[in-house]
Structure 1
Amino acid sequence: MKFGEYLKNRRTEIGWTQPDAAAKAGIEQSYLSKLETGKSFPSEDVYQRLVEAFSLDTEAMVAALYPAELDRLREIEAVRKHLLEREHNTRSTTRRWLYAGLAALVAGGALVGLAQIERGGAATHYTYQSYGVVRPGESDDIFDDNPARADEQTISIPDMRGPAYTETVPEGRRMWHLVGANAVLVPAKFAWALIPGFALIIGGLGCFFISRRRP
């Protein structure tokens, strides 16, 4: 909105004619006409008269006028004060959006990086079989001679330990023999971090966009 239009609307709202308003403000009617048509802008002294006569709210007026109009009124102290305050608030808000965007990008990048540490995929697992525990003093063929002593167990492990290996257990020792190998799908350990990571990155970019769009 233009200043003259704002002033005329205020006069009409009060219910004054142009001569009445000029008399209340202590200025010539012709000068008030120039103000309302945008042919002139008030000085500091005239603006103070208009504020008193029209009960103008400078803050509300600054919020309503076009930027080009405000530039013409910047020399008026009350207007300049509100403009500087608004510019300061705008810069502060912009900085907050930028900091929030930066924090979101850093956190999102960290989560996406975390998800890449152990990405999972196919891995080979080796199957070993044991017939039972060989107690101290018994031969390795104990289960051939005494099948009732057998306690078969089968395990699948990710590391290859050779065709056979021996494991010490409280009752004695257990002999493990390789009987096969198969590929298994290992899930990514930190796959859950991808979704919040990308969400934070998108949110961070959104914060930067908002900070650039603010007036």
Structure 2
Amino acid sequence: MTLGQRIKQLRVDKELNQPELAGAMGIEQSYLSKLENDKAFPSDEMFEKLLTALKMTVDDFIKGFDRTYIINHLSKLSFVKQHTEGLTQSNAKYLFKWIIVSSLMIAFGITLYMAGEKSWADASEFRVYYKSMGVVKKDEPLLLFEQDPERLPNDILARVSPETVHLSQKNGDFFVKSVDGGSRYYEYIRGGYTRSKSLNNWLRIIGMFIGVLGVVGLLIEPKIRRLRSIG
């Protein structure tokens, strides 16, 4: 579409004839006819009058043109040139932020993934484990189940019910705890730090997700650039 075709299109869309638009612009109808037939090119003052008569902004007016035509022809008009330069700078800032954010997402994602992979966020805790083989009834020896199983009667063997508990600190080599039916004798088994893998797994998952989003952002940046250029 040429400049003249655009002027004629807008005049028709607003249901104006040439004399009406020419009168609104304060120019001769013959000059408007030359503009619509691309036999004349408007000055900055004339272009401003055209926009005022059509009640349009520069942005609305140039939306009907190909970007190449705007650069090669319409940029001769100061209003259009300033507008396109402003858009170019705005797009450049937008795309620069897009690239920076995408790159930071990749870096942050990799950092989180490595934190999980190397267990940097070590959610470990100290645990001490004790084990009891069964409930000891009243008047029975506490070490009843610690004896050789071959020497125990069948009724006592039937009561064997191993149970392991863990504490945050060592409570001696053994301790006794009252339970229903008697008491349990807990003997120290082992102690040390145990590591929770769930936190590190989540760090890997979140890190990978953020990193992938960053990569996608960089991959679609050229498309975003083209779309904003067209706009």
The alignment's TM-score, normalised by the length of structure 1, stands at: 0.61
User: 2:53 corresponds to which residue?
Assistant: 53
Establish whether residue 212 from structure 1 lines up as the match of residue 213 from structure 2. Answer: no
CA distance in 1, matches of 2:207, 2:91: 29
Corresponding residue SS for 1:42: coil
CA distance in 2, matches of 1:175, 1:70: 84
Structure 1 segments, 4+ long, off by >6 Å, are: none
User: 1:106 corresponds to which residue?
Assistant: 107
Q: Deviations over 1:135-169 (max 9, x none)?
A: xxxxxxxxxxxx946374998xxxxxxxxxxx994
User: 1:97 corresponds to which residue?
Assistant: 98
User: 1:122 corresponds to which residue?
Assistant: none
Change (3 A) 1:175 1:211: closer
CA distance in 2, matches of 1:3, 1:23: 20
User: 1:191 corresponds to which residue?
Assistant: 201
Q: Deviations over 1:144-198 (max 9, x none)?
A: xxx946374998xxxxxxxxxxx99478xx898xxxxxxxxx9576122222112
CA distance in 2, matches of 1:168, 1:198: 43
CA distance in 2, matches of 1:90, 1:70: 17
Corresponding residue SS for 1:41: coil
Uncovered stretches (5+) of structure 1, i.e. residues with no partner = 119-128, 132-146, 156-166, 177-185
Query: Given residue 114 of structure 1, which amino acid in structure 2 is its aligned partner?
Result: A
User: 1:164 corresponds to which residue?
Assistant: none
User: Percent identical across equivalent pairs?
Assistant: 22
User: 1:125 corresponds to which residue?
Assistant: none
The offset of 1:18, in angstroms, is 3.1
- Give the CA RMSD over aligned residues: 4.1
Query: Given residue 84 of structure 1, which amino acid in structure 2 is its aligned partner?
Result: E
User: 1:79 corresponds to which residue?
Assistant: 80
CA distance in 1, matches of 2:68, 2:171: 88
Establish whether residue 117 from structure 1 lines up as the match of residue 122 from structure 2. Answer: no
CA distance in 1, matches of 2:209, 2:217: 12
The offset of 1:67, in angstroms, is 0.9
CA distance in 2, matches of 1:198, 1:30: 67
Q: Is the 8 A contact 1:44 1:76 kept in 2?
A: yes
Within the candidate set 201, 211, 214, 1:201 is matched to 211
The offset of 1:108, in angstroms, is 0.6
Uncovered stretches (5+) of structure 2, i.e. residues with no partner = 120-129, 133-139, 147-161, 165-169, 175-186, 190-195
The alignment's TM-score, normalised by the length of structure 2, stands at: 0.57
Corresponding residue SS for 2:76: coil
CA distance in 2, matches of 1:61, 1:55: 10
